[in-house]
Structure 1
Amino acid sequence: MTDNIIMEEISKTYLETIANGKGYFNSVARDYGTDMTIRRANYCSTKKRYLTIGKSVDLQIKAVSEKYVEGINDPTSTTIKYVLEAKNYNDLVTRANEGGICMPLYLCVVVLPDDKINWYSLNTNELIIRKCAFWYQVPDGASETTNSTSVTIHIPKSNVISESFYDDIFNTLS
């Protein structure tokens, strides 16, 4: 596999591991503008089994080494800058402007170290995936870009994906 494919697979594992740890799961692994659909199953006491709830979110995942993310290692910067393909940005805008008809689409930028030897480490006690991930949603009322190649997006560093990420976004769904 190429390094880019390996980075993509590590990134999916990173985000899926965080979801699984909080009781969510990846229900779809196809790429039609999304890389994952995250859902949750809750225990139904009357049926005495778990049932999938009707809420879900789609994730578009971008794996990138830190040298391609401006501001990632600058402690004075409150945002990171990421260059996103115009078609992917327009997909985010289209989904955001559907007015809640469909499930929300989040961009997840997973930043891995520049040196691939540091992407992960493993021993008998732990598996460590390095570095971090950030989420992004286009602002309300955003318009598609007329750029044909790319758009630079500014992601607040406070949008780091933590253990509460999935709980937080599912709590906003009606």
Structure 2
Amino acid sequence: MSRGKTKRECFAIAFSYSVIFNWRRRQVSPQPTRVESSLLRDKIRVKYSDNWVEGLIRVNINIQKEEFSYAYVYAIASAAGYSFQRTTTPLDQLGIDLIFTGIGVQGIMGNPQLYVQLKCTSRAMLDTNYLKYPLKVKNYEELRVTQQYPPLILVVVVVPDNINDWLYQSEEELCLKRCGYWISLAGETSTENQETVTVSIPRVNRFTVNSLTSLMQCIARGEAL
């Protein structure tokens, strides 16, 4: 029984035909005698006669930003000693991207939890004291809900414009650039904006191991963030 082709295989076939067409268009002679294609890791190689044409399959930059932001907060959660869980439908449709859980944290709330809506941008508007982020109205309304447990905060991870500057690695260190910032919008006023609301996040609100620990301790004590 034949199986259906995966999205990756379909993309490979489409890319192959595109490369073949453009290659043939540049050639006057000789005519191709054989065409072969193979998928190797993240590359596609198309053979035209005695020549190979090679192209890269790259993930969409927005997906890369999303995954990098998850890696950033995952590293912090791991260093802080908290459980980290990515959500699925329907929670992600409510603006909840991930859940932190404090195992064994002492307080009124046993095993306190924190909901996070996660964003990533390389076009941040940073001034001396604030990160100004254009947040969709839908997300703003989700974040300003009061008396919610677990509480929901916004975390915005800022990365360099050049993707090659996102990460530096040596034998001594693994450096993820640039920084994450958090804010609680619970209790904020409603907006008449139709598309976005510019949120000003204090730059002192860096999302770090210490700040995550403080947030979880506040939740355990039943305090507002």
Name structure 1 gaps, 5 residues minimum: 44-52
Aligned residues with identical type, % of pairs: 29
The answer as to whether partners of 1:16 and 1:25 remain within 8 angstroms in 2 is no
What is the distance in 1 between the residues matched to 2:197 and 2:118?
Answer: 16
Residue 58 of structure 1 aligns with which residue? Answer: 115
The answer as to whether partners of 2:182 and 2:206 remain within 8 angstroms in 1 is yes
Q: How much has 1:139 moved relative to structure 2? A: 5.4
Residue 61 of structure 2 aligns with which residue? Answer: 3
Residue 181 of structure 2 aligns with which residue? Answer: 134
Q: Give the ranges of 4+ consecutive aligned residues of structure 1 lying more than 3 Å apart after TM superposition.
A: none
What is the distance in 1 between the residues matched to 2:209 and 2:216?
Answer: 13
- 1:1-174 equivalences under 5 Å are 1-30=59-88, 31-32=92-93, 33-42=95-104, 53-65=110-122, 68-71=123-126, 74=127, 77-94=128-145, 97=146, 99-100=147-148, 102-138=149-185, 140=187, 142-173=188-219, 174=222
What is the distance in 1 between the residues matched to 2:190 and 2:74?
Answer: 29
- State the superposition RMSD in angstroms: 1.7
TM-score, normalised by the number of residues in structure 2: 0.64
What is the distance in 2 between the residues matched to 1:89 and 1:137?
Answer: 11
The answer as to whether partners of 2:181 and 2:201 remain within 8 angstroms in 1 is yes
What is the distance in 2 between the residues matched to 1:90 and 1:8?
Answer: 21
TM-score, normalised by the number of residues in structure 1: 0.82
**Structure with more of its chain in strand, by fraction:** 1
Paired amino acid for 2:87: A
Residue 29 of structure 2 aligns with which residue? Answer: none
How many residues align? The count is 154
Judged with a 3 Å threshold, the aligned counterparts in structure 2 of structure 1 residues 169 and 34 are, in CA distance, closer, same or farther, namely same
